[in-house]
Amino acid sequence: MSYRITWIEAQRSFEAAGDETVLDAAQRAGVRLPSECAFGGCGTCRVKLVAGRVQYAEPPLALSPEEAAEGYALMCQAHALADLEISTERVLAAPTPPQRHRATVLRVEALSSDVTRLVIALDNGVRLGFRPGQYLNVLLGEAGARSFSMASRPDESQLELQIRRIEGGYFTQDLLSAMRAGDTLDIEAPLGGFGFHEEDYRPIVMAATGTGIAPLRSMLATLLDSADIPPIDLYWGARTHDDLYLHEEFTQLAALRQDFRFVPVLSRAGDGWVGARGYVQDAVLADYPDLSEHALYLCGSPAMIAEARRAFTAHGASVRYLYADSFTFQHPHCVDAAQ
C-alpha cells in the first residue's frame, strides 16, 4: 500500500510505500528532503508531522520520546502509516548549492596527539560561501567520501578542518599523515543543515564533545562579531586536558567578552584539574536546571547528543530550540568518542 507524502514548504508531493522509509521514497521521486546520515543518528531529517502517522523498525537514536510526543519524526527511519503532511520550517536554507572544487593543502599541523588541523584553499582564488556549522566532503574516488565540519569563518579565503585520527582509517590515518603543503584534494561543499537560528534570539548554550567543537567555533567566530547577540555559554567536553586543543583560544575569548562564557569539562580529569568534571550535559544542567528559555546547540558523539536531548528536555528545553549535529563512523564528519 502507498501513501501520499506532502512537503508543505517545498509544495512537493510523492508516494511512499509502507515497506520503505519516507526519505527513501523522497529520493526515489527526486525530492531532496534535508538529510545527512540516513540511519537516525544526526537528526537532520527531523520534520514536524502536521498530519498523519509513522512507525519505526527501531526507535531512532536522534529522536527522543519527548520529541516524538510533540509530533516530530525522522524521515530516514520513518515508515508512513497514512498520508502525511510534513513541515521543515525550522531547517536552515543553504546559502549556496554544493559544488565540486579542487583545493590545495596549505598547512597540516598537530593540534593534539590525535587531532590534526588541515588548512586548504580552493583553487583559482575561489572563496567558498557557506553557513557556519556546515561541512564539506573530501572526495576519494572509489574509497568514497570523508566529511568534516569547517572550523573557519565563512569570510576567510582559507578553510580549516579539525580531523580526529581514526585507528586504521584510510583518510584520517593513512592519507592525512602523508599529506604535505601543495598537495591537492577534490571536495564537495557546502553541505549540511546545522547552523545558528538568529530568529530565536534567546540565551544560547552550546555543548560539544571532542572535534564537535569545530562547527561551533565557526559559528562563534561569526556571532561574536556582532554587538547585538544573546549571551552564549560554550561547554566543551573531553577526556583529559590535552584533548582540549583550543582551550587557550576560548579562555582568552571569554576574558574579552562579557557575553561569552567558556566551560571546559573533563571526564577523566587529573588531580590538578580545578574545572568541571564528568559529562558535558551534566555540567550544563548543574548551571542551568531550567532550560526553558534557552536555545541549545549540540555537536559531537551520538551518545552525548542522545543523552543531552533526553536530559535537557526533561529540564524544560523545547525541541523547537534544540539543534544537533552528530559525529559517527557512518555519518559525515570524523568520529568523536569523548564520552
The per-residue pLDDT for 332 is: 38
The per-residue pLDDT for 85 is: 95
| CATH no. for 2-87 | 3.10.20.30
Q: Is it true that 2-87 and 204-326 share their CATH fold? A: no
The per-residue pLDDT for 110 is: 97
The per-residue pLDDT for 336 is: 32
**Grid coordinates given for 290:** 531550567
The per-residue pLDDT for 260 is: 97
Query: CA–CA distance from 238 to each of 102, 135, 242 (Å)?
Result: 34, 22, 9
Fold of 99-191: Elongation Factor Tu (Ef-tu); domain 3 (2.40.30)
Collapsed DSSP state (helix, strand, coil) of residue 74: strand
The per-residue pLDDT for 91 is: 64
What does the domain layout of the chain look like in residue ranges?
A: 2-87, 99-191, 204-326
What is the mean pLDDT of each successive set of 10 residues along the chain, which is 339 residues long? 89 94 95 84 87 94 86 95 89 82 97 97 91 95 94 95 93 94 96 88 96 97 90 97 97 96 96 95 98 95 87 88 69 34
For domain 204-326, is the CATH number 3.40.50.80?
yes
The per-residue pLDDT for 333 is: 40
Sign of CA dihedral 69, 215, 30, 331: negative
Q: Any idea of the CA torsion for 86, 33, 304, 332, to the nearest 10 degrees? A: 170
